[in-house]
Every structure is written in C-alpha cells, then in structure tokens.
Chains A and B, each alone.
Chain A
Amino acid sequence: MNTPRVQEEVGSSTGKLFAPCRAACPVHINVPGYITAIGEGRFTDALETVLERNPLPSVCGRVCLRPCEEGCRRCQLDQPVAIASLKRAAADHGAYPAVLRPRRRPESVAIVGGGPAGLSAAHDLAELGLGVTIFESKPKLGGMLRYGIPNYRLPDEALDRDIDHILEYGIEVETGVKVGTDIAMDELRERFDAVLVTAGLQASRPLPIPGSDLPGVLTALPFLADSACGEDVELAESVIVIGGGNVAMDVARTARRQGAKRVDLICLESAQEMPASDEEIAEAELEGVRIHCSWGPREVLGEDKVMGLRVTRCTSVFDVDKRFSPTFNEDNVQEFYGGTVIFAIGQGADVADLGLPLTQRGAIDVDPLSLTAGSDRCYAAGDVVSGPTKVIDAIAAGKRAAALIYRDLTGVSDIIDELDEEHAVLSKVPDAMGQKLETRRRVEMERVEFYDAVKNFDEVELGYTEYEAAREAQRCLSCTTGARLTREKCAACLTCMRVCPHGAPSGEVGGYLYFDADLCHACGACASQCPAHAIQLEGCNDAELQRRVDRCLFNPELDTTLAFVCGYTPDLLDVIGEKARIISVPCLLRVSEAAVLDALQSGAHRVVFSGCNENMCRFPNAMPLVAARVARIKSLHTEIGMEDAFDVSGEEPAEVAAQGEGVAEGGAAS
C-alpha cells in the first residue's frame, strides 16, 4: 500500500482532500457535506451547502447527468448513492436561505443569455457586490432549462425556485431583448464595465437531404420550446425523430405527450454508441418510443407533405481516430412511414450578430485562460464556447467566467485562485474495509407510471419524501467527513487505533498518530472515545451538536424530553413520547456523556437515546461502544440520583409511522 493519505489537521489550511464524488463534480459541491446533513434530516443545512457551489440545486437535482455518481465509492459495494436525487430532496424539503445583499461595488457587468451559465455567473458576481444585468432574448430566464428541457423532467416551478433565489441578489433582468438586433454589443460595452456572452446554442437545423424542406419537417429546439410554452404543436399520428442524444429522447418523449400515437427514433449510432444516457433511453422506450439504431437518413419522403423517411444501414460512425466519419451500406435500405419528421441532430451557436471572433464551427473564439473574446472587457462562456455540454458544465463555466471577470475588474484573485486550487482525491475503498461494510440497495424514487406519464407534461419523478431521502443519504460512506486530529492535544493513548473498525489511525509515521482518510468511514468511534478531545469529525463536531441542542431546547416546557435519535433508525415518536424534541445523529456515539448532562441543564427534563438496534447499524464497531456509553451515562445518573432523567428506547422502528416526522429536527416541538 502507498503511504497513508493523511487527513489535514484541524485548523490547517493546506492540502484539500476531496471525496471522488466532489472531485468529479465540475463545481466541486461539498457532496459528503450535504448528504450527511440529509441523513440527519437537516434539509435546509443541506441546501445551503449545495448553494455554496451551485446556485441551481433544484435544477441539477432533476436533470444533472451526475458525474458525481460515477465517482461514488459506494459503486464498489453495490450502487452509487443517489446524489442528484438527494440534491433535489434538499431543494424540495429545505428552505432557501434569506439573501443578505452585499455592499454594492461600483463595477457592473452585462450578461447576454439567461441560461445556466449566465445565471450562475450572474449569481456569483452579484453575490460579490457587482451590478449585474441579464439580457435574455426569450420572454423568461432559464435558457435551455426552460425552453429545451421538457416540463416532465424539469417543471417551471422547480426552475423558478432557483431563479427566484438567484434574483434576490438584486440582479436586473431585461427579457425579450436580443443582443445584436435589439441592442448593439457596442452599447453594452459602453454601459457596462464588462460583457459576458453566455448565449448557449440556439440554432437547430435539419440535415441537408432531399425533402428536408417539406411541410411537416421540424427541428428539435423550436419544437421543444413551443411544447415548453404549453402550445399544442400539430403533429401527425406517426412521428419520426432523427438523432441519438438526450435531446432526441426529449423530442421523442415530448412528441408522445403532444399526442403522437407512434414515435420512431432513428439514429446513426449503434445501441452501445448512442450518446443519450441509458436512463433516458430506457424511459423513452418505456413510454413507447421505438428506437432504431444504425440507420442514416437519406431522404424525407413525400411530395407536398411528409410521408416518411428513407434510411440506409450505417455500418460505422467513427473512423479509427474516433472522428465522426459515418460509412453506409447503400444496399440495405428501409423506409419508415410518418407524417412528421423532427431533426434532433445537434445544435449550433447563433451569435453572428454579436460581431465577436468565431471558430470554424461557429462558436465564439475565446482565449482559453482569460475567457476574453476579441476585446479586453468582453468574455464568453458556456456552450456558446465549448459546444454542447452538460448543465453542470455550463454552471461551472459561468462560475469560472464570473471569477475571472471579478479578478479583472477588481484586481482581487481570491475567487479564481480558490477555483483553481489543487486537491487530492480519495482512493477506492480498500478491500478489507469494503468487506466490513454491508450492502444496501438504493432507495428507489416514486414515479408516475409510464402509461400515465405520456398523457401530460407533469413531472414524472416524484422526488423522495424526507424519510426516503434520509434513508438514501445514510447509504453514503461519508468520505472525507471523518476524523481530524489536533496533534498538539493528542495524548498518544492509542484508543483510536483500538476502536477503529478499519484501522484508519496508525502510529507508524514519524512517531505521531495519523489517520488514513481512505480507510475512514466517519463512524466517529475514535472521536467518541478520545480522552484528550484531540479528534473531531469534519462532518459533525461537538460545537455544532451543542448549537443544535440549544436550538432544539429553545423555550422548553417542564416535561420536555430531548431524544437523540440514531439517524439510521428513525424511531416512533410514541415510543419516546409525543412531546419529544428530536435531534438526529448519524450514530449515537456522536453524543457524549457531557452533551447529555448539558442538555439536562439546558432545559430538558429527560434525555432519551433512541434507535441503534443491531441489524440496522452500518458501523462495524459501534454497537458495543454505544452500549458502553449508555451504561456509563446510566451509572452517572444513578450516582447523582437522577435515574429517571436518562432512558433508552431501542424498539424496532415502524418505518411507515416514522415517515415525515421521525427525521425532522424538533419535529414535535410545537
């Protein structure tokens, strides 16, 4: 094995260590941080954590393509944690924090295009105090999020929740204004200190094949935009969609909802090569879309209106250098019949009117380091520069542009320096550790049945309940949220080595104790037993718990019971008593003897430990340690004649009854 990957010490500012999920996210959201909070039922805290890095949590919770989940270390054990769905749960169940507007700086920035890149840049710049105005050609903000992604995947309400929060920073918006036509770039350059173009890819064209100008031939983006605006688009009963990406899937599924009885989707790529995500393909098929792979369109059939499509067999899409260079077997011909043909074969930039330097592909040509396009104070970012990417890539691009603009206008490089800061990444779960961890299946999200889904544009995925979200979050291995050692306090008693189930602490390096972050599961056994308080957990420290206890015990009644509930086994309130105020923790080991005694002085009449029955505990060593702690607390209370002030309730939880209450902080307080 390599040298242990050492967790940074408390208070040390060097050496960032990211969990693979966080490292894989283009904006490096503190994923373990917000998942931990959800596991404890703290949805607002979770949402605030997401918002630190991503101003569009409600959007990304629904439509992100989730590079984070590919990184999830849980993949080695069973399935990745449903990171995106949990982000949605944070946005669904948490409260967006009130925005404290910063002191306004003199600099101002115009942003051309209110899609994910533009909104993210606007958010970051406004948060830093700059004056921001977004110019949007469409009637509403959101770009492709509103006019490209169908409502059944991303409803307007979900999008507006994020946008409303962003606009609270005091961003001005001019909608229905097309820069280059309604207002000249030069005017923006004059009025603002900087201009950022995040116009996205607005052009969508058919293939130049015979018949592609027939009535009944549509292109993806106008079709999706009209559908998104609630317009009934006239379609034939049989619709042919051309394309193999996610947009093509959206078009096909939207066509079903627009009333098409039969939808045939034709794509060049083989089933394995299709660029659309597996999930989208599966859902499209379940909704009745027939997918025909490895066919290349040759001619739209029909004389004065579309009658069908002639295709030939595509034998390969890419050449040996992986370049797009399709080959066909012209003898293998097939015809599909349908009255509407919709091309969904990629989008292009539509920014010729802006007078900016363009690449051969028609994208804006920027200096890759400064993101400036042509002149000093003009920047461009997002798909209009990079070509089609994921929503989260556009957000990252917007944030990067904002950081660069901020640096260039104010001379302060903190933000861009932080974005560029190097980080180490946790390795795979070592085998010995993996064997001690139980497998647990992902909590499936409830969704509308497919035969009902195609009847309207209502959202298909219904989201997790609070209880389901907490259960799913508890699958997280809590990477990088574990032990941090303050070496000056360490008494070198080796207790941590003796209680850690995975051997994360070791005394071999240089005579001091070290924690190997790869082996830390954040169970908290070490911190709970450390006699010197030299170990704190990144994800849940004593001071944080103290604040939660104080908050929970605000205005106590004479008979208030404070229940510390193991977040992994939310218990029934009627076991504890209806008046119980509840604090969920990942493991009861997080609650020290002192915390229990302190709660009794802060207004709790009685303290209850609840949960933690053996068959549900995910931490290998926790059970005997919790039992020992309970025994100690009981004996201390007996010593001072307060036996009744502390109790344990370990009954098997009835999951149904716990839904919606068992995980809520202070749920039954009122």
Chain B
Amino acid sequence: MIVVRQKPVEEICSMVARHRNVLLVGCNTCAAVALAGGEKEVDTLIELLKLTMRRKGETTEFSGCVLQRQCEPEFIEHLDDRVYDAILSLGCGAGVALLSESADKPVYPALDTLFIGASQGFASWRAECSACGKCVLGQTAGICPVTRCAKGILNGPCGGVNNGQCELGDRPCAWVEIYDRLETLERPEDFKEIIQPKDNSVKTTYNKLDLSGEGGAR
C-alpha cells in the first residue's frame, strides 16, 4: 500500500486560505488504511481548519466526503463538487493528480506521499518498495536494498555498517539483514553473487502502463 502522512496544518492553511468554500475529499483505500485519509481524518481536519480559520478571522467554509479510491475515474465521477471553489485531497499523490485532472478548480494535497510500505502492526509501517521497475527481491531474500539501504546500493554492505546498523543511525543495515536472512534460508552463497547494475532507463520508460488493446500483449 501507499503510505501517506498529513502535512503540517500551517502548510494546508496557506494553500486553502484564499478560497471561500473547500471540499475535503478522503480516500478509503491506502490513505484510510494508513490512518491519514479516511472519514475520521477528514472530519478531524475539517474541525481543525474551521477552528484555525476562525481564529485568523477568515470565513472559509469546509465540507467533506470520502471516495472509495481517488485514483479511479469511475469513483471520481460521483463527486459533486459544484458549490466548492477548491478541493483538498486526502489521497496519495496519484489521487491528487487524478482529481486535479477531472476537476475544474484547484486541487491541493493535504497529505505527503511517503512510500510503498507494509504494516508493522497498529499504526506503524515500513517502506518496502521504491517502484524501481526492475525487481531484485529474488536475489536479496525479499529485502529491498534499493528501498531499505540508505544508499540504495545493489551490492553491500558499504563501509558505513557498524554492528549491523546503518551509519545514518536510524535503521538497521539492509545488507546485513539480507545476509542474515539468506543464511536462515540456507543459501548464504547467494550473497557472493554480484547483482549487475540496473538499467535505470526502465524507470523512465515505465511512466505509463496500458494493458488494453495491443499493449495487453505485454
């Protein structure tokens, strides 16, 4: 899932301040699961913005609704935004982008999109994938060096590893973890295999995916 986080209130306020009637649109898929863009957060943010604007002497009004997924045109079709002069999206970047495309008014992001991640239990996620377009997880025992290594190097560890920790000090070294897991899987020799440099042009090629029509031939 896409992991997101709400922007600072001040930043949101500065975006919507010039409008008089703003619609907050939540997203009931990734953003809700990330506890940042479901109905609960839409309600909370509405109250927060109302209170802030009132204190600033502004008269901006706020309402809210939630779409099942903001990154689907069919769900967006049902959005009735006629009376509003701006939209504040509580979706990931993809949601903001698609909403902007179909709306005839400014759409602002209330969230920052952080990473593709997996749940670590209640209210906690870890980045697991950088959508690099060329997956190496088969060689790295399911731990993504592009994402979890601070340098994103394909063959590690680097000299900055210290007692299994990354020199940044905020995470374990991904390459030590990869080695440990390969050992658990009884394939430590795989560690010796050099992963060839990745063709990063793939990343730019994949700016679009269309499987309809002849594109479906893959």
User: Which residues of A line the B interface, CB within 8 A?
Assistant: 489, 491-495, 498-499, 529-533, 592-594, 597-598, 600-601, 628, 636, 639-642
> Which residue from B29, B38, B39, B47 sits with its C-beta under 8 Å from A597?
B47
B9 touches A640 (CB 8 A): yes
Interface string of B48-67 (1 = CB under 8 A from A): 10111011000000000010
Which A residue's beta carbon lies closest to that of B9?
A639
Nearest 3 A/B pairs, CB to CB: A531-B38, A597-B47, A498-B122
**Chain B hits for A639, CB < 8 A:** 8-10
Q: How far is the CA of A489 from the CA of B9 in the complex (A)?
A: 26
> Which residue from B40, B50, B55, B121 sits with its C-beta under 8 Å from A531?
B40
> Which residue from B32, B44, B55 sits with its C-beta under 8 Å from A532?
B32
Which B residue's beta carbon lies closest to that of A498?
B122
**Chain B hits for A529, CB < 8 A:** 35, 122-123
B123 touches A601 (CB 8 A): no
B44 touches A594 (CB 8 A): yes
A491 touches B29 (CB 8 A): yes
Q: How far is the CA of A639 from the CA of B14 in the complex (A)?
A: 13
Which B residue's beta carbon lies closest to that of A638?
B9
A495 touches B51 (CB 8 A): no
B29 touches A601 (CB 8 A): no
A494 touches B119 (CB 8 A): yes
B38 touches A491 (CB 8 A): yes
A489 touches B121 (CB 8 A): no
Q: How far is the CA of A641 from the CA of B121 in the complex (A)?
A: 32
A533 touches B51 (CB 8 A): no
At the interface, yes or no: B128 with Cβ under 8 Å from chain A?
no
Q: Known contacts A495-B122, A495-B123, A533-B39: does B28 contact A597 (CB below 8 Å)?
A: no
Interface string of B139-157 (1 = CB under 8 A from A): 0000000000000000000
- From residue 55 to 84 of chain B, which have CB atoms closer than 8 A to chain A? 55, 66
Which A residue's beta carbon lies closest to that of B10?
A639
Q: Which among A494, A600, A640 has the highest number of chain B CB atoms within 10 Å?
A: A640
A533 touches B44 (CB 8 A): no
A601 touches B51 (CB 8 A): yes
Q: Which among A592, A628, A639 has the highest number of chain B CB atoms within 10 Å?
A: A639
Q: How far is the CA of A495 from the CA of B119 in the complex (A)?
A: 10
B9 touches A636 (CB 8 A): yes
**Chain B hits for A601, CB < 8 A:** 47, 50-51, 54
At the interface, yes or no: B85 with Cβ under 8 Å from chain A?
no
**20 more CB-based (< 8 A) A-B contacts, given A598-B47, A636-B44, A639-B8:** A491-B33, A493-B38, A494-B119, A529-B35, A530-B38, A531-B38, A531-B39, A532-B28, A533-B38, A533-B43, A592-B43, A593-B44, A594-B46, A594-B47, A597-B47, A597-B51, A601-B54, A636-B9, A640-B9, A641-B55
At the interface, yes or no: B177 with Cβ under 8 Å from chain A?
no
Interface string of B152-165 (1 = CB under 8 A from A): 00000000000000
Give me 18 A-to-B residue pairs in the complex whose CB atoms sit less than 8 angstroms apart, sorted by A's number: A491-B32, A495-B35, A529-B122, A531-B39, A531-B40, A532-B38, A532-B40, A532-B66, A533-B40, A592-B40, A593-B47, A594-B46, A601-B47, A601-B50, A636-B9, A636-B48, A640-B52, A641-B55
* CB of B7, distance to nearest CB on chain A (Å): 11
At the interface, yes or no: B112 with Cβ under 8 Å from chain A?
no
At the interface, yes or no: B41 with Cβ under 8 Å from chain A?
yes
Q: How far is the CA of A532 from the CA of B34 in the complex (A)?
A: 11
**Chain B hits for A598, CB < 8 A:** 47
**Chain B hits for A636, CB < 8 A:** 9, 44, 48
Q: How far is the CA of A185 from the CA of B94 in the complex (A)?
A: 81
Q: Which among B9, B40, B48, B66 has the highest number of chain A CB atoms within 10 Å?
A: B40
Give the interface size bracket for B toward A: 20 to 34
* CB of A314, distance to nearest CB on chain B (Å): 66
A531 touches B48 (CB 8 A): no
**Chain A hits for B28, CB < 8 A:** 489, 491, 532
Q: How far is the CA of A640 from the CA of B8 in the complex (A)?
A: 10
* CB of A207, distance to nearest CB on chain B (Å): 71
Which A residue's beta carbon lies closest to that of B52?
A640
Interface string of B1-37 (1 = CB under 8 A from A): 0000000111000000000000000001100110111
A531 touches B119 (CB 8 A): no
- From residue 100 to 157 of chain B, which have CB atoms closer than 8 A to chain A? 119, 121-123
* CB of A600, distance to nearest CB on chain B (Å): 6
Q: How far is the CA of A529 from the CA of B34 in the complex (A)?
A: 11
* CB of A597, distance to nearest CB on chain B (Å): 4
Q: How far is the CA of A493 from the CA of B124 in the complex (A)?
A: 12
Which B residue's beta carbon lies closest to that of A495?
B122
Q: How far is the CA of A455 from the CA of B51 in the complex (A)?
A: 64
Q: Which among B10, B33, B36, B119 has the highest number of chain A CB atoms within 10 Å?
A: B33
* CB of B4, distance to nearest CB on chain A (Å): 11
**Chain B hits for A493, CB < 8 A:** 32-33, 35, 38
Q: How far is the CA of A492 from the CA of B33 in the complex (A)?
A: 7
**Chain A hits for B55, CB < 8 A:** 640-642
Q: Which among A529, A531, A597, A641 has the highest number of chain B CB atoms within 10 Å?
A: A531
**Chain A hits for B122, CB < 8 A:** 495, 498-499, 529
* CB of A595, distance to nearest CB on chain B (Å): 8
A489 touches B39 (CB 8 A): yes
* CB of B39, distance to nearest CB on chain A (Å): 4
> Which residue from B38, B41, B51, B66 sits with its C-beta under 8 Å from A600?
B51
**Chain A hits for B9, CB < 8 A:** 636, 639-640
> Which residue from A489, A498, A533, A640 sits with its C-beta under 8 Å from B48?
A640
Q: How far is the CA of A492 from the CA of B9 in the complex (A)?
A: 28
> Which residue from A492, A494, A532, A600 sits with its C-beta under 8 Å from B39?
A532
> Which residue from A531, A600, A641 sits with its C-beta under 8 Å from B33?
A531
B41 touches A531 (CB 8 A): yes
B51 touches A640 (CB 8 A): yes
* CB of A593, distance to nearest CB on chain B (Å): 5
Q: How far is the CA of A304 from the CA of B80 in the complex (A)?
A: 97
**Chain A hits for B48, CB < 8 A:** 597, 636, 640
Q: How far is the CA of A640 from the CA of B55 in the complex (A)?
A: 9
Q: Which among A491, A492, A499 has the highest number of chain B CB atoms within 10 Å?
A: A491
Which B residue's beta carbon lies closest to that of A533?
B39
Q: How far is the CA of A640 from the CA of B66 in the complex (A)?
A: 25
Q: How far is the CA of A628 from the CA of B122 in the complex (A)?
A: 12
Q: How far is the CA of A398 from the CA of B130 in the complex (A)?
A: 71
Q: How far is the CA of A491 from the CA of B33 in the complex (A)?
A: 7
Which B residue's beta carbon lies closest to that of A598?
B47
* CB of A340, distance to nearest CB on chain B (Å): 72
Q: Known contacts A489-B28, A491-B29, A640-B9: does B121 contact A498 (CB below 8 Å)?
A: yes
Q: How far is the CA of A448 from the CA of B33 in the complex (A)?
A: 58
* CB of A592, distance to nearest CB on chain B (Å): 7
* CB of A543, distance to nearest CB on chain B (Å): 12
**Chain A hits for B54, CB < 8 A:** 601
* CB of B104, distance to nearest CB on chain A (Å): 28
* CB of B205, distance to nearest CB on chain A (Å): 33
Which A residue's beta carbon lies closest to that of B54?
A601
* CB of A534, distance to nearest CB on chain B (Å): 8
* CB of B75, distance to nearest CB on chain A (Å): 14
**Chain A hits for B10, CB < 8 A:** 639
Which B residue's beta carbon lies closest to that of A624?
B122
**Chain A hits for B32, CB < 8 A:** 491, 493, 531-532
* CB of B50, distance to nearest CB on chain A (Å): 6
Q: How far is the CA of A465 from the CA of B52 in the complex (A)?
A: 43
* CB of B68, distance to nearest CB on chain A (Å): 9
Q: How far is the CA of A641 from the CA of B53 in the complex (A)?
A: 12
Q: How far is the CA of A593 from the CA of B54 in the complex (A)?
A: 18
**Chain B hits for A531, CB < 8 A:** 32-33, 35-41
Q: How far is the CA of A593 from the CA of B10 in the complex (A)?
A: 18
